[in-house]
Every structure is written in C-alpha cells, then in structure tokens.
Amino acid sequence: MNYQGVTFPILLMELHPFLQISSMNTGDPLASDPREGSPTERTGLMSGNQTSNTDRPSYRSSASDSPTMPETSVNANETAVVGDSNSNRRSRRPREERTRPDSASASTGEDEELMYGAKHVIMLFVPVTLCMMVVVATMSSITFYTQEQNTYFVYTPFQDQEAPTGTKLWQSFANAGIILCAVIVMTIVLLMLYKYRCYKVINGWLIVSSVMMLFFFSYMYLEQVMRAYNSPLDYITASLIVWNFGMGGLFCIHWKGPLLLQQAYLIIISALVALTFIRYLPDWTVWTVLGVMVVWDLVAVLCPKGPLRVLVETAQSRNEPIFPALIYSSAMVWIVTMADDGGRSKKKKKQETKDTDNNADEEDDDGGFKEHMANGISGHSLEDSVAARSAFQALGDMTQAQKDSSVHSSCVDPLSYYEKSEPQTNLAFSESNGNIQDEPTMQRQAVPEGAVGGAVAADESDVSVRSAKKKQKKRARPTGEGASAAGGEGEPSGGEQQRERPAVPGASDDASEMEEERGIKLGLGDFIFYSVLVGKASSNGDWNTTLACFVAILIGLCCTLLLLAMFRKALPALPISLTFGLVFNFATSALVQPFMDKLNSEQVYI
Amino acid sequence: MDLRRVKNAEKLVMCRRYYLAGFFALPFLWIVNSVWFFQEAFRKPQYTEQAEIKTYVIRSFIGSVIWLAIVIVWVTIFQLKRVDWGSTGDALLFSIPHGSA
C-alpha cells in the first residue's frame, strides 16, 4: 500500500505536543480565608497564560458558517489591549509591586491545590493509560505491527536495515531531522493560517486529516485484527463498521457529541496514529524521533517565539479554544456555574485593588493586568511568595481592611456580570453571593466535582472577553465599588445589581453563549508519542521494559503536572516523560533485563 | 458537550440532526442519539421541545434495533452459508481466514 498520502495529515497530529492546563489552579477563590488575604491573587496570576476557553460549538459553527464575524467585532478592542499591555509592561511595575502583598495568599491555597492536583493527575492518567494499553495490546497480539517490513513513510528515505551501526545511526538522525523539518513546516503553516484567520482552511485541513485517520486507519486496523484472529468478515459488515465508526467520529470531534465519546475517539485516534508510526518508521528512527521531539517540544512551547507558544497566546488573545480536534480535555462545563463565581471574584477583586490604586483609565487597567499576570507567572517563585507574605504581615491591619473591602466588592462585582449574562440564574447567584460573603467554605463545597477545575478557565475567558466588554465593565465596576464602600452586604449589592441590569441590557450575551472547557488539556501529540514509546518498548516482547516505560512516563507526567501547578502556563508535556521513558527503556533492556536473566539462571532470588 | 448546559432549542436541533444523519446507514448515530438523549426525553420535567425529542429518541431507538437485527441476521447467514455460496462467498470476504491444520 502507498502510505505517502497518509503522512500529511498524520503530521498534523504532532503539532500539539504540549500540555495545557486550563485549570490546575482550581483553587477556588474562596478556598482561602478571606481574612487571611485575598484568595485571589493566585488565580489572577495564572489566569493570564491559561488557555482561553470558549465554546467549542460556537467556534466550530462560527468557523463553518461565518468564521470572521465574531472576531471582527472584537478585533479592534483586542489589539488595543495587546498593544497596551506591551507598552505598559515596564511602566506599570510600581503599581504591580503594590498589589503584590496579595499574593501572600498564594501559599495559603497550596494544600487545596495539591488536592485538586491529584484529581487532575488521575483524570489524565486514565486516558493516557488507556491509549498506551490499546497500543501495547495491539502490539503484542497483532504481529502486523511488529513484523519486518519494507514500506516506510516518505519522510524516512534512509531505511537500510542491514547497514553497520554507524551508518544506521546517522541515517536515523537524518530521518528524524527530515521528520522534524516537516513538523516545523506544518506547525508554521498552521500558525500562519491561524494568525491570518483562515479558519476555513484550518478546519478543512483538520477534517480531511481526521477523515483519513478515522476511515483509513480504522479500516487498516480492522483488517489486521480480523487477520490476526483469523475470523472471516464480509465486506458489507466491514464497510458498515468503518462507515459508522468514521462518521460517528466526525460528528463527535468536529460537531457535537457526548464528552465521553469525544474523549474515546481522541484516544483511539491517538492510538491508531501511534501504531502507524511504530509500523512505518524504521527501527532506530523511532528512538531518534522521540529524542528529537523532546527538544522540539521544549523549543516550541517555551521559547518566547516558539510556534506553539505563539499559537497558544494567539488563541488566548482571541478567546478561542485551540482546535478541539487536536486537544484532549479532561472535562468541560459551561461558563455560568457556581464555580465560576469564585474565579471571577478573584479576578474582580484584583481589578478592584488595582482600581483603587489607579482608577484613572481603563486602558491602563488592562495593560497593567496583563503585565501583572505575566510577571506573576515568571516570578511566582518561593522567594516571591515569602517576601510577599512578610510584606503582607508588615502591612497588617491596613491590608486587612483593604482586603475586606475588596473581597466584598469582588463578590459583588462578578454578580453584576452574571446577572447580565444569564438572567434566569439570577436567584441562584444572589443566593450564592450571600453564601460567599457569609461562609466562603460553603461555596467551595457547592462546587460540583467536574467544575472544580474551572476557576482559571473562567478567569481566562473573562480576560479575553473583557476586551469585548470593556465598556460594560466600566459601567459595572462602580456598582461593585459602591457596594464595597457600603460595607459589602449581600442584600444591598444584590439590589444594586438588579438596578444595574436594565442599564446594561445584554451586556455579555456572548458570555452566556460561551461554553467552558475545563480540566487539563493534553495535546494529542503527547498521547501519540507516549504510546509510541511504550509500544516500541513492548515490541521486543519484554514486559519488564514495557512496564518500566509505562511507569516512567506516568511519573514524568506527574512531574509535568507539578510544574504546571507551579508555573501555571502551557508547558511541554513531552520532555520529562519521554526522557524518563527513553532512559528507563534502554536501562531496562540493556542493564536490568540481562541482570535479571543472570539472576534467574543462577537461581538467585532477591 | 454537556447536555445540562445546552438550551432546549439547541438540544432539539442536535437530536434532530443525529436522527436525520442516522438514515445514511449510520445506526451508530442512532444508538448514540437514543442513549444520549434518553434522560432528556423521559426523565426531565416537561418542556416544549421535549415531545419532539421524545419522538426522535424513540425512532432512533427503533431504527438502531432494526439495524442491529439486520446486521446480526446477515452475519449469521453469511457465516453459515459462506462455504456453500462458493466463489460469491469468497468474493464477499473482507479478510480471508487461513485454514488450521
């Protein structure tokens, strides 16, 4: 068979080997005691770099129907914001320092975060494990994927299996280099398309590639499974199966479908692509490719001008999800939930503090905000928080008072938002508002499981939606301040909002349409390469190596998630895991396995 | 997609599209439809679109059952009669089993 055509879409899948967190920080705003310092700073810090989360369907539908419509309306504001943040980056520093004491609270929320972190870790472990299991099971039961073959990707012209080791080595590096170049070119093409808003092209590309994968790969897979189990299947049933599977996948991935089914499809696609990689890449090249991808992932996600980073930032500034077909997200909830209230109040609160500092102009507020977040992310280190805490203690009562007022206002302000965005939820939110102010913990318990991770996401979308809604906010803010000045009691503020609502009709209609994807996001590329590593490790039939790789990858994933919790921005998920995996693979197969064999043959038991 | 957060009108559109798409020999979509919208159709308090959703869900369910029956009957017949059909049966084979010694 000629697989040259297939490789193009496959490469696309590699484009997103990064981990994106929308919500590691779930630390609900109210988790930490308001008296102890604003809960808020922390989410504020992270929210800046987090994913933008908007509604999948709306993105899709907007892309298919009238791709540019929603954007253009926001466009002017948006660019203004960005430019602003840049220009203000330096000048705003002093103000930022002033608000810094708030971040003392950051350390207080640590425990909750770790707790939620564990949940998120498991939410990612399950799909990654499933994907690897599919691959390993296939590798060990279907010989097609392990046998010697002569067909290879067009990207790997050097495939001399009988050459001496030196030749094989440079050939594998040459192959990996070619693949890397292809990946870079694809990434840049995608980035350019995205930058210039060619959504139709991107969507077409994604659909074509997923059609390829869903139909062609599943057909191949079915064929091999049937052959391996020696069961006669007729063409009619086979085509029915493939047709249904493929169309179901297209519906779920590119339109709407149950979340579970979407996730299942993404996992299956990843597994199929990983199997194809294992099958059609020369033996040595697989390992070099894995090594090269580690470096590429680091560069692409962490460099200031790395393509993936630029992509993420662009998506954030546009408040769009990054191609849903390429990202696995562990959960998805709508924007208007109780949990959001917390996230919002945090951010709000921060704005309030800022506003009290400098109430003068709105543009500055945005710039300062962004800069603040950028700063917080880069400088959110231990020293920082320690310094912040001491500063906080030194400030003492004064800060306390300020904080009290700001907390109140924070609770109030988001409310006015909500009321505008979703009139029918009015009551619920007023109620929750009351709860918040009385007992922060109540609110926390009320947060539904799935939505726990949501605070950040909400924040983020808030950030980006902000540009569109600046005016409304401007009007809304005085309300919050007034309430806080009045002592921040629930009832009065509620009243205020009620009054305020008619004044700004439909202020955030777009927000009400917005669907949030919460939870951690992991690029499909990560799934693919993890599975390639484990699958390849299992291809020589050694379960020790397979398990060692599996554990190493999961540990690497844990470390990455830990870093994610610390840095709160999109991180490459491949480097740590794959490095561990590669080390463990070779160590196990070259050192541990012979050692165990020796022990076995000598009948020594440790 | 989380159905709890979808507007009722939207639900109806989704349900209808899944139902209509199912006619293109896509019983899988019907199965998904009937499972996914089951709660909506039968367990939720009354709302205006519910009646229509209910009919779509029921029809999807019936359709998927019919499809399932057809497929099972066909596969059974094929497996039993494949050898008798001779070359026609072989031509229909997607994967050719090798004999066991």
Q: Are the beta carbons of B97 and A235 separated by less than 8 Å?
A: no
Q: Taking a contact as any Cβ pair under 8 Å apart, which residues of chain B between 62 and 101 contact chain A? A: 71, 74-75, 78-79, 82, 92-98, 100
Count: domains in chain A: 2
pLDDT 10s digits, A317-336: 888 777 777 788 766 433 32
Kindly provide the ipTM of the predicted complex, given to two decimals: 0.94
Count: domains in chain B: 1
**How far, in Å, CA of A366 to CA of A538, rounded?**
52
pLDDT 10s digits, A6-47: 333 333 333 344 444 433 333 333 333 333 333 333 333 333
Instruction: Note the pTM of the prediction, 2 decimals.
Output: 0.62
Cβ(A325)–Cβ(A210) below 8 Å: yes
Residue partners of A462: CB distance under 8 A and separation at least 6: A47, A343, A344, A347
Do A308 and A380 fall within a single domain?
A: no
**How far, in Å, CA of A287 to CA of A299, rounded?**
19
Mean pLDDT computed over A514-521 = 56
Residue A271 placed within a domain: yes
Residue partners of A510: CB distance under 8 A and separation at least 6: A70, A465, A468, A469
Residue B96 placed within a domain: no
Range of B11's domain?
3-65
Do A292 and A394 fall within a single domain?
A: no
Residue B76 placed within a domain: no
pLDDT 10s digits, A452-492: 333 333 333 333 333 444 434 344 444 333 333 333 333 33
Nearest CA in chain B to A224: B95
Radius of gyration of chain A (CA): 26
Do A362 and A322 fall within a single domain?
A: no
Q: A248 — contact with chain B (CB < 8 Å)?
A: yes
Q: Is the pLDDT of residue A90 over 90?
A: no
Nearest-CB residue to A237 (from B74, B82, B98): B74
pLDDT at site A106: 42
Nearest-CB residue to B36 (from A56, A258, A334): A258
* Chain B residues within an 8 Å CB radius of A231: 95, 97
How many Cα atoms are found within 13 Å in the side-chain-facing hemisphere of A138?
31
pLDDT at site A503: 36
Q: Are the beta carbons of A57 and B1 separated by less than 8 Å?
A: yes
The confidence band for A237, taking pLDDT boundaries of 50, 70 and 90, is very high
How many C-beta atoms surround the C-beta of residue A487 within 10 A? 11
pLDDT 10s digits, A362-402: 333 333 333 333 333 333 333 344 444 444 443 333 333 34
What is the percent of chain A where pLDDT is above 70?
48
Q: Are the beta carbons of B97 and A57 separated by less than 8 Å?
A: no
Residue A105 placed within a domain: no
The CA distances from residue A8 to A41, A195, A227, in Å, are: 44, 21, 27
Do A122 and A259 fall within a single domain?
A: yes
Mean pLDDT computed over A529-537 = 93
Do A347 and A408 fall within a single domain?
A: yes
Q: Are the beta carbons of A234 and B14 separated by less than 8 Å?
A: no
Do A450 and A583 fall within a single domain?
A: no
Domain boundary among A491, A516, A541: A516
Answer positive or negative: Cα dihedral of A283, A285, A289, A290.
positive
Range of A349's domain?
340-516
Q: Beta strand pairing status for A233-234 and A18-21?
A: unpaired
Residue B36 placed within a domain: yes
Nearest CA in chain A to B5: A334
Residue A558 placed within a domain: yes
List active site positions of A: 297, 526
Domain boundary among A516, A549, A564: A516
Nearest-CB residue to A248 (from B28, B75, B79): B28
Nearest CA in chain A to B37: A258
pLDDT at site A561: 86
pLDDT at site A336: 29
CA distance, residue A57 to nearest chain B CA (Å): 9
Residue B97 placed within a domain: no
Domain boundary among A484, A516, A548: A516
Residue A411 placed within a domain: yes
CA distance, residue B44 to nearest chain A CA (Å): 18
* Chain B residues within an 8 Å CB radius of A333: 2, 5
Do A275 and A329 fall within a single domain?
A: yes
**How far, in Å, CA of A500 to CA of A475, rounded?**
9
Residue A95 placed within a domain: no
- Distance in angstroms between the alpha carbons of the first and the last residue of chain A: 50
Cβ(A348)–Cβ(A147) below 8 Å: no
Residue A561 placed within a domain: yes
Q: Are the beta carbons of A235 and B71 separated by less than 8 Å?
A: no
The CA distances from residue A395 to A2, A388, A401, A489, in Å, are: 71, 10, 10, 25
pLDDT 10s digits, B63-73: 999 999 999 99
